[in-house]
Chains A and B, each alone.
Chain A
Amino acid sequence: MNIVVCVKHVPDATADRKFESDNTVDRAGVDGLLSELDEYAVEQALQLRESREGEDIEITALTVGPEKALDAVRKALQMGVDKGVHVTDEGIAGSDYLGTSLVLAKAIEKLGAEKPVDIVFFGMASTDASGGVVPAMVAERLGLPQVTLAALVQTQGDQVRVKRDGDTATEVIGATLPIVLSVTDQSGEARYPSFKGIMAAKKKPVETYSLADLGVDPGEVGAGAATTSVEDTSARPPRTAGEIVTDEDGSGAEALAGFLASKKFI
């Protein structure tokens, strides 16, 4: 079985994330890491392998991004993934969702040329763009069924069962491999790399692909091919400090009720 996990390198969400003057995300000033939500995807891929004992299952971590994005692949290797693929090319800079999904799809096709890909795992959304749309786009491009936002993934043979917590209902979805899956942070805590894992990762193979390697026309990706443009970015004005009171024998509730009444909420 051949499994691919798509992992993105993102600016640390707990740091002070900014835009550059040209309205692109400042990726230099803020430390980057493997998107926390993609760790859940790596975890589910590893658990799936553990649940299918005795089978020959290879897991590849795939990232598209600049030089530093390789760190995301490294973390996945440390967690237990077998090999890494890093697609990097000047021509990719400034890609929008359409461009990114095209490059991912082409890379997955290339990986599948040797041995067909059975499952492509994604995180539910990247923690920077947080569109939650790349998995659906890749599924569309590959012509594969998609089941996104899985809280629970089970497989048996070529059958897949997914539980998801929808807006209006809890659903069980059934599908057949090959498939595109995205998993939520409800799917189970991701493991920490062990010391052994960190050492082993150093010896694991990582391949680097350029656009030419994937047969992608540079005219189809990057800033030049973008289908959306950012016109302006501005920092939200900080909220003006509010009034803070300390509750003493019910005074807090009275004061808060007074505030809510002054704002006509009650």
Chain B
Amino acid sequence: MSEVLVLVDHVDGAVRKPTFELLAIAKKLGTPAAVFIGGAGEAADAAAAVKKYGAEKVYVVDDAEIKGYLVAPKSEALAQLVEKTSPAAVLIVSSAEGKEVGARLAVKTGSGLITDAVDVAEDGTATQSVFAGNYTLTGKVTKGTPIITVKPNSASPEEGEGAGTVEEVAVTISDAAKTAQIVASQPRQASGRPELTEAAIVVSGGRGTGGDFAPVEKLADALGAAVGASRAAVDSGWIPHTFQVGQTGKTVSPQLYVANGISGAIQHRAGMQTSKTIVAVNKDEEAPIFELVDFGVVGDLHSVLPALTDAVEARKG
């Protein structure tokens, strides 16, 4: 069987969960082969992690230089690997960076690119959710090496030891690829809560919070959930942009989405409409968010959320 390359998504060698989801999809399409691009000393941990989730091969591009630059060097390295291994497909996490790496790889290799897939079948047919989640589309790459970027939470990671054979790969990175340089980077502070795009439960707050996110955060913690927000809350400066759910924020598809003081504008829906179960608390019974919900409470979030948090804590015992 041909190899399926999975670009490892990691922070300083710590592999992020969506990579394991891609390995599960890669198993359906061929032989999973992880591609780690990173700095010296980070590869060993990453290789061990992907091996546990079934990587038969781990290609390591160990180039400390790549780290300080944006996507161009990564796409060059990946293009050289595609050339070398002629894979059946390349799977990349559908983050902003992942999509751009895929985009440049597609141009370099003359291959078709499918972005934001939520499922990939054995024959390579990819499913996408478009128009704010109102349409489901299936499609295929018809030319070149299929390059598919897959949204987080689209598959369940499957543990199962692969051979994990490490192969160091030397690549040449052009000077042209090293023209945009990261001059300062401030890592996001860990909130201690699950990652928004990976969480099984997301509790969000909007303009209706009036700027007080404490009730939202307390409920999130009682449920073990991630915190999200509408753009109105972000624009008001109540919460950083990284928490925004929607068209210009994160797309989430958790088991449970709890919208509080959020009206349900189309741009917000675009980021949460495919959640399995949706509930909302809003004091306006006419709010469009209620068209989406499995369960809704018409009421003031400032009283409903604390009472709900207490009820959740009580049931947990």
Size bracket, chain B contacts: 35 or more
Where chain A touches its partner, the secondary structure class is mixed
Q: A149 and B106: CB pair below 8 A? A: no
Tell me whether B72 is interfacial, beta carbon within 8 Å. yes
Tell me whether A212 is interfacial, beta carbon within 8 Å. no
Tell me whether A113 is interfacial, beta carbon within 8 Å. no
Tell me whether A227 is interfacial, beta carbon within 8 Å. yes
B280 nearest CB across to chain A (Å): 9
Q: B179 and A176: CB pair below 8 A? A: yes
Report chain A residues within 8 Å CB of B240. 165
Q: Enumerate B267-317 residues with CB–CB distance to A below 8 Å.
A: 267, 273, 277-279, 281, 285, 290-300, 303-305, 307-308, 310-312, 315-316
CA distance A133 to B116 in the complex (A): 11
CA distance A37 to B278 in the complex (A): 28
Tell me whether A213 is interfacial, beta carbon within 8 Å. no
Whether A266 contacts B113 in the complex (CB less than 8 A), given A232-B137, A256-B295, comes out as no
Q: B296 and A243: CB pair below 8 A? A: yes
Whether A97 contacts B106 in the complex (CB less than 8 A), given A149-B96, A231-B140, A235-B134, comes out as yes
Report chain B residues within 8 Å CB of A260. 256, 279, 312
Report chain A residues within 8 Å CB of B99. 131-133, 136
Instruction: Among B187, B290, B297, B310, find the residue whose CB has the most chain A CB atoms closer than 10 A.
Output: B297
B317 nearest CB across to chain A (Å): 11
Q: A239 and B140: CB pair below 8 A? A: no
Q: B104 and A228: CB pair below 8 A? A: no
Q: A247 and B182: CB pair below 8 A? A: no
Where chain B touches its partner, the secondary structure class is mixed
CA distance A227 to B110 in the complex (A): 8
Tell me whether B156 is interfacial, beta carbon within 8 Å. no
Q: Enumerate B14-51 residues with CB–CB distance to A below 8 Å.
A: none
A137 nearest CB across to chain B (Å): 5
Q: B279 and A228: CB pair below 8 A? A: no
Please, what's the 1-or-0 string for B130-150, where 1 marks a CB less than 8 Å from any CB in chain A? 111111111111111000000
Tell me whether A88 is interfacial, beta carbon within 8 Å. no
Report chain B residues within 8 Å CB of A127. 247
Can you list 19 A-B contacts with CB-CB less than 8 angstroms, sorted by A residue number? Answer: A37-B248, A98-B107, A130-B247, A131-B115, A132-B99, A132-B100, A141-B107, A148-B96, A167-B97, A169-B187, A242-B295, A245-B296, A247-B297, A256-B279, A256-B295, A257-B311, A260-B279, A265-B223, A265-B277
Q: Which residues of A contact B (CB under 8 A)?
A: 13-14, 17, 19, 23, 37, 96-98, 101, 124-125, 127-128, 130-137, 139-141, 143, 145-149, 151, 161, 165-176, 179, 184-186, 226-236, 239, 241-247, 250, 252-257, 259-261, 263, 265-266
The 6 closest A-B pairs by CB, nearest first: A247-B299, A227-B112, A253-B307, A145-B179, A257-B311, A133-B103
